[in-house]
Structure 1
Amino acid sequence: MSSNHNHLHNHGHKHDSCCSSDMPLAPKKSLSAGSDEVLTKFKVANMDCPDEIKAISEALKIAGVVKIQANLMSGTVEILHSPNVQKGLLKKRIDSTVVKVLDDESPTSVNQNQKRIWTVAVSGALLLTGLVLQWTNTVTVFESLLLLVSILLSGSLVFPKAWSSLKRRYLDMNVLMTIAAIGAIAIKEYSEAAAVVFLFALSELLESLSVQRARRAIQELLKIAPQKALLLLSDGSTKEVEASEVQISQMIRVKPGDVIPVDGEVVRGHSSVNQAPLTGESVPIEKSQGETVYTGTINQEGSLDVKVTKAFNDTKISQVIKMVEEAQEHKAVSQKFVDRFAEIYTPAVLVVAIFTFVIPPAFFGGSWHDWLYKSLVLLVIACPCALVISTPVSIVSGLTALARKGVLVKGGVVLESLGKIKALAVDKTGTLTEGKLKVEKVITFNSFSEKEALVIARAMETHSTHPIAQAIVAYAEDKAVEKKIVDRFSAITGFGVEGIIEGHSYLLGNHRFAHDVGICTPELEKKLEELESEAYSIVIIGHKPHDNCTGEVLCIMALKDAIRKESKDSILELKAAGVEKVILLSGDNQKTVSSLTKELPLDEAYGELLPEDKVKHIENLKSKYQSVAMIGDGINDAPAMAKASIGIAMGFVGSDTAIETSDVTLMTDDLKQVSTAIKAGRRTLSIIQFNIFFALITKAIFLVLTFLGYSNLWLAVAADTGAALLVILNSLRLLRI
């Protein structure tokens, strides 16, 4: 029997530990209020970059505020505070920044963006008109007026942010652009001042629109879930109600062609259900009495009466939404680097610009006008706009695209780590195999009958949800054996289970378990060798030695599990994606495990492993390949998954714990999704690296041109805006995976 068959449900995972230095942190969860705390949530507009989140955090640093969580992708701010802090005060503090709280009567973020688009468009039109008048030497005063109005319009999107930053004693890109614009006005370069502010406002608008696009992609997931449900009344009639109002244990009816509104269990009816909107799996799944159905999936030909098992906000699709939104809080390594770089770089640029303006005229007889102009060009070209947005837009796009493909990744740091994976360890049951074991043979010993063995097996295995246990219980139920109660049931990691039935102590486990308690015999060893050579998974039922009983083997149950038809192609795709080594780690007997290497392109296969043995194999892989992933069920393989660089759980549907116990969760049991995730990680890394290199090299070239006298404010702002636009467009390509 596989050592994974250990019946334990309390394994730890990397997210609950602080002892591994190479593990990624868990993503932030939504805040929850204690008994003496209040949780207030605001929907906000104009929160499109980390600078605005910093501003909100600074504004809310007041007595009584316990914790603040601003979510860029959901456009929300959650505040945990004491009851004596009024909601109105919190709203006022947020509104004191450029971010504005939206209420029921406030315009939507779409309308907010439309206003910004019109502002930038009118500013651009005035700038263009002013330039035409300038080039044709027509009406100088009117030309200057047009340019000043253009500056004010675009500046309405920039200057308030700059003032907010200065009040917080923080230098950002808005401050640099404002100083550059004021300097250009001071030397009467109105057209260049207008160009600086307009093009910067345009780049900020484009950044906002890119975040909105990624935000809409996430919100499209929520649209999968219908807002109405047909509540089934006691007299058999139905009543249409809001899906959010349906309570647990109530009955709903789902007609053919309808989308299932909440998670539940089929009580009456039979139909096939298309789960593609949730999992990406194109083949409909047959559903009948006792089967679970999920929000957002589509009922096809039959009518289903469903008992609600989860409230609307706790459904699978809601978990997906929360996870994708929370993933944005977990910054990638490259994003942290860029943020730290920008914090140092921006003030440094201002200092260099001041020195550029002061030193040549003061000490070397240079022209104050010329060197002021060069310092302004330096401010604009050195603006880190393209650099700062190079990573977050890429990460958001990559995470969103993978979520739409049925791969849930917990944050940018995990996505980047996926792109570095060189070795992969996989579990056997439910990963490479179907996980639907069947009892093929029952061999009894010492005049013990099959029925007696099945009574013990059913009693013991009823306490477990492991695939082997489920297969044995199903077999026993088919034989209609009686139910018995187990006393002092316990699971022994890597061996099996034991308990007392009617005063006798029994064990049910693997070969090692039988050997350790001293009930192995030459006859048993011979039979086990024969069955293992035929690739069976073995379960031994024995009478454990106790009191005056010497103990004995009562029965061997031999089970088989079919290899998934896609396993071979999936492993080949993993290797094509750049994974250098794929190994199998299993608790099953070595002969069964070794037989898989004849059918699958595995590099190595190890069997008869305890959880700690799997951890050692992961450590060995990491010492050679550094970045290693482990695929398992998210629970039984938790120690090895915790030790790996990335833990991947297969099969989100049907497993509520998978989303909590892994770094990556596959919505279906399709191993091919792993290669999709790894390719996406590599592509994201590649695009981020290109974006950073492109932003830096552009800055370097134009800085050199500035000091050589070949650049001006026009070229500087065009280069900055152009670089930002190209970086955004390049990053948005990741939305298509």
Structure 2
Amino acid sequence: MKFQKLIQEHNNQITLITAILIVAGFFSKYFLGNTLGYDIFLAVASIIAAVPIMMHAYQALKVKVVSIELLVSIAVIGAFIIGEYNESAIVTFLFLFGSYLEERTLAKTRQSIKSLTEMAPTTAAVVQDDGTTEEVDVDDVDEGDIVLVKTGGSIPVDGTVVEGHGYTDESVVTGESREVGKQVKDDVFSGTMLSDGYLKIEATKVGDDTTFAKIIELVEDAQDTKSHAEKFIDRFSQYYTPAVLIIALLVFIFSRDFKLAITVLVLGCPGALVIGAPVSNVAGIGNGAKRGILVKGGEAMDTFSKIDTFVFDKTGTLTKGNTSVSAVKNYGTSLDNTFALTAKVESLSDHPLGRAIVTYAESKTYDFQELEVEDNQTIKGQGMMAQIDNHEVLAGNLKLMSSHDIKLTAQQTTDLDELQATGSSVVIIAVDGKVDLIVAISDIIRPEVAKQLQSLRDKGAKHLVMLTGDNKATADYVAQQVGIDEVHAELMPEQKVEIVKQFQQVGRSVAFVGDGINDSPSIATADIGIAMGSGTDVAIETSDVVLMQSSFEALVHAYGLAKKTVLNTKENITIAIGVVAFLLIGLIAGFIYMASGMFVHEASILVVIFNAMRLISYGKAPQVKQIPQTTPAIK
């Protein structure tokens, strides 16, 4: 065991010594005329270089795997037996040198992923009760601890700012190269850098629970998730490599040419074929990771490349989810009292429309915080109902009103139609069985959506669909603005799932793009689930692709990257098969021998690696303009 470890640690030195011995051997023969010295140098080089190769072959045989190293080992022993020391020395050197170059080039493809782990903070300055700070290991920080981060420091936890202000570089999480302003009550992520200012942060997630830790775990796991091509190659190589041994044996039996038989072993090594697909996937996943695009492995990449139908949620996906109250229709006696009751109901919800109403109430200083909630209930796809200060309050859509036998007057119906015609979302509020308020709320369409949806079409998307729980008028307005092909509105979550299944039943490959929380059933049902930017546990666990920066430019990049990665994999497989065919033809024609065959073999491995490395630089990192932006609300 110690000897094996020693050999592994000095593999590069063994390669160098082998090269020196080979050079010395050729120098001895061609410059000194010493043939004996030539044979001795090359024989020693063969033995030294064969040791690590044979060790790997033995370890593979212990787990019942016929490896490439076994083929080379048998070929080298055969060449040694017949006195072809030059062939055995050159073959073993090329194999070791090829492994060295392969390791170096593969390291480059993994560098973008490795750089993520190097950014993970290791210590944190925890604020003590007396106001002093203590430097502790990041694993010793507990939820609820207050940590201090100064300019240039790395934020060690996920948390909420409780004191200070500054600007953070969140590119490690979102892929966006811009600074984000942070102040009290703002959320921050582990692994991001504080470019300016100082922050005291209350830890809400620590250690392996932080968003950054989950990103690293996801990307590392993705490298081990095989694509369909990799799975096929694994199955193929299980039979291919033993078949080469049998073919070499048959060649010897029928030709009685021992050198020809061992040459077949060398030429039959499927190195480029075995490595072609994995290196493409690693490079593609690394490209995405550097841009805040997390793809869960080769299989997800492969499936994503075949998507022809994109299904989008509306609120928070096609729109920013930055909603605000744009109109209030009052039919009661006291607007202040009614809106206070409304705000109290909506404060119990985390829905974007509810948050807009609460924000509006706070800006108008409506007094709702002290109101007492006696009972409350959320009704899926309809809204909320609550008992507040002896009043029954309903806040929701027409379905909610109808289910409680509450009818709108002619004027209220007219007002409702007019507000919905502007594309606004509408919340109807009934107090004690009578409609008192209709509140219109406008969302902001993402300014880049129309252009990027066209880019999706250019890259192969054939059908773009919007599913929303919002009213039809609003949905139609948004669809018209951004260029959606098909709209389904006023849906409950289970209805969205059914529509996704219907698309699948007619043979479409479906990607669902949503926020990863409310739409998690649809994300899980679709062939590919894509979470836009929330970075939450649900988004990371449910979806196949996570876009940390919530950008449609990133969505287009991810779609193009998936197609390029799969194409690159096919190119590598074609190159590998082409090389094997060339070597066999060369062997039959007599212009390929053992050493030259090994050279071509090792060169083919490097070709597929370099081909895959082109994926690392695919596309440009998404550029996002500085906030704030002045984008008109839906009207």
Q: Name the TM-score, length of structure 1 as normaliser.
A: 0.79
Task: Give the drift of 1:609.
Answer: 2.2
Matched, 1:461 2:309: no
Matched, 1:350 2:245: yes
Pair 1:174–1:301, CA change in 2 (3 A): closer
CA contact (8 A) 1:433 1:564 kept: yes
Task: Give the drift of 1:664.
Answer: 0.7
Match of 1:663 in 2: 544
One of 533, 545, 548 as aligned partner of 2:421: 533
Task: Give the drift of 1:620.
Answer: 4.3
Distance (Å, rounded) in 1 between the aligned partners of 2:156 and 2:207: 8
Match of 1:121 in 2: 16
Gaps of 5+ in 2: 619-635
Match of 1:490 in 2: 377
Distance (Å, rounded) in 1 between the aligned partners of 2:345 and 2:186: 24
One of 336, 340, 357 as aligned partner of 1:451: 336
CA contact (8 A) 2:22 2:41 kept: yes
Task: Give the drift of 1:503.
Answer: 5.5
Distance (Å, rounded) in 2 between the aligned partners of 1:238 and 1:272: 22
More off after superposition, 503-512 vs 196-205? 503-512
Distance (Å, rounded) in 1 between the aligned partners of 2:306 and 2:87: 45
Task: Give the drift of 1:257.
Answer: 3.5
**Pairing of 1:365-444 with structure 2 (within 5 A):** 368=256, 371-444=257-330
One of 149, 159, 169 as aligned partner of 1:254: 149
- Determine which structure has the larger helix proportion and give its number: 2
Match of 1:104 in 2: none
Please give the secondary structure, in 2, of the residue aligned with 1:157.
helix
Pair 1:541–1:724, CA change in 2 (3 A): same
Distance (Å, rounded) in 1 between the aligned partners of 2:11 and 2:518: 52
Distance (Å, rounded) in 2 between the aligned partners of 1:138 and 1:687: 49
Pair 1:706–1:184, CA change in 2 (3 A): same
Q: Which amino acid aligns with 2:419?
A: L
Matched, 1:229 2:124: yes
More off after superposition, 621-630 vs 149-158? 621-630
Distance (Å, rounded) in 2 between the aligned partners of 1:413 and 1:153: 41
Q: Which amino acid aligns with 1:456?
A: L
Match of 1:59 in 2: none
Distance (Å, rounded) in 1 between the aligned partners of 2:67 and 2:151: 56
Pair 1:383–1:500, CA change in 2 (3 A): same
Q: Which amino acid aligns with 1:156?
A: V
Distance (Å, rounded) in 2 between the aligned partners of 1:690 and 1:542: 64
One of 582, 593, 596 as aligned partner of 1:715: 596
CA contact (8 A) 2:171 2:192 kept: yes
CA contact (8 A) 2:428 2:437 kept: yes
One of 385, 395, 415 as aligned partner of 1:508: 395
Match of 1:161 in 2: 56
Task: Give the drift of 1:214.
Answer: 4.0
Match of 1:89 in 2: none
Aligned length: 615
Q: 1:251-309: per-residue Cα shift (whole Å, max 9, x none)?
A: 22222343323222111122232322331223322211111122232324432222222
Distance (Å, rounded) in 2 between the aligned partners of 1:348 and 1:136: 43
Match of 2:517 in 1: 635
Distance (Å, rounded) in 1 between the aligned partners of 2:216 and 2:35: 56
More off after superposition, 202-211 vs 175-184? 202-211
Distance (Å, rounded) in 2 between the aligned partners of 1:334 and 1:413: 9
Q: 1:33-76: per-residue Cα shift (whole Å, max 9, x none)?
A: xxxxxxxxxxxxxxxxxxxxxxxxxxxxxxxxxxxxxxxxxxxx
CA contact (8 A) 2:29 2:37 kept: no
More off after superposition, 302-311 vs 125-134? 125-134
Q: Which amino acid aligns with 2:402?
A: H
Q: 1:426-466: per-residue Cα shift (whole Å, max 9, x none)?
A: 11111121111112222233x35333333433333333222
Please give the secondary structure, in 2, of the residue aligned with 1:249.
coil
CA contact (8 A) 1:225 1:260 kept: no
Distance (Å, rounded) in 2 between the aligned partners of 1:511 and 1:605: 20
Q: Which amino acid aligns with 1:200?
A: F
CA contact (8 A) 2:467 2:489 kept: yes
Match of 1:473 in 2: 358
Distance (Å, rounded) in 1 between the aligned partners of 2:299 and 2:91: 35
Task: Give the drift of 1:134.
Answer: 4.7
CA contact (8 A) 1:155 1:201 kept: no
Matched, 1:675 2:556: yes
Q: Which amino acid aligns with 1:611?
A: P
Q: State the superposition RMSD in angstroms.
A: 2.5
Pair 1:489–1:661, CA change in 2 (3 A): farther
More off after superposition, 228-237 vs 707-716? 228-237
Match of 2:627 in 1: none
CA contact (8 A) 1:435 1:467 kept: yes
One of 261, 275, 296 as aligned partner of 2:191: 296
Task: Give the drift of 1:477.
Answer: 3.2
Q: Percent identity?
A: 34
Q: Which amino acid aligns with 2:611?
A: N
Match of 2:74 in 1: 179
Match of 1:307 in 2: 202
More off after superposition, 724-733 vs 166-175? 166-175
Q: 1:131-180: per-residue Cα shift (whole Å, max 9, x none)?
A: 45455683222212211222223223210011122233321111111111
Match of 2:178 in 1: 283
CA contact (8 A) 1:97 1:164 kept: no
Task: Give the drift of 1:197.
Answer: 1.7
Task: Give the drift of 1:670.
Answer: 1.2
Pair 1:283–1:566, CA change in 2 (3 A): farther
One of 568, 571, 590 as aligned partner of 2:450: 568
Q: Which amino acid aligns with 1:174?
A: E
CA contact (8 A) 2:280 2:613 kept: yes
Q: Which amino acid aligns with 2:547?
A: L
Match of 2:631 in 1: none
Pair 1:303–1:170, CA change in 2 (3 A): closer
One of 562, 566, 577 as aligned partner of 1:685: 566
Match of 1:595 in 2: 477
Q: 1:226-259: per-residue Cα shift (whole Å, max 9, x none)?
A: 4343333333343444434333322222223433
Q: Which amino acid aligns with 2:457?
A: K
Task: Give the drift of 1:647.
Answer: 0.5
Pair 1:166–1:482, CA change in 2 (3 A): closer
Distance (Å, rounded) in 2 between the aligned partners of 1:697 and 1:256: 55
Match of 2:213 in 1: 318
CA contact (8 A) 2:341 2:368 kept: no
Distance (Å, rounded) in 1 between the aligned partners of 2:62 and 2:522: 49
CA contact (8 A) 1:271 1:304 kept: yes
Please give the secondary structure, in 1, of the residue aligned with 2:445.
coil
Distance (Å, rounded) in 1 between the aligned partners of 2:252 and 2:196: 76
Distance (Å, rounded) in 2 between the aligned partners of 1:481 and 1:185: 91
Pair 1:410–1:517, CA change in 2 (3 A): same
Match of 1:19 in 2: none
Q: 1:196-224: per-residue Cα shift (whole Å, max 9, x none)?
A: 22212222223333443344432311232
Q: Which amino acid aligns with 1:516?
A: S
Match of 2:630 in 1: none
CA contact (8 A) 1:461 1:473 kept: yes
CA contact (8 A) 1:590 1:608 kept: yes
CA contact (8 A) 2:106 2:609 kept: no
Task: Give the drift of 1:659.
Answer: 1.1
Q: Which amino acid aligns with 2:476?
A: S
Please give the secondary structure, in 2, of the residue aligned with 1:599.
helix
Distance (Å, rounded) in 2 between the aligned partners of 1:218 and 1:201: 26
**Pairing of 1:263-274 with structure 2 (within 5 A):** 263-274=158-169
Task: Give the drift of 1:97.
Answer: 11
Q: Which amino acid aligns with 2:586?
A: L
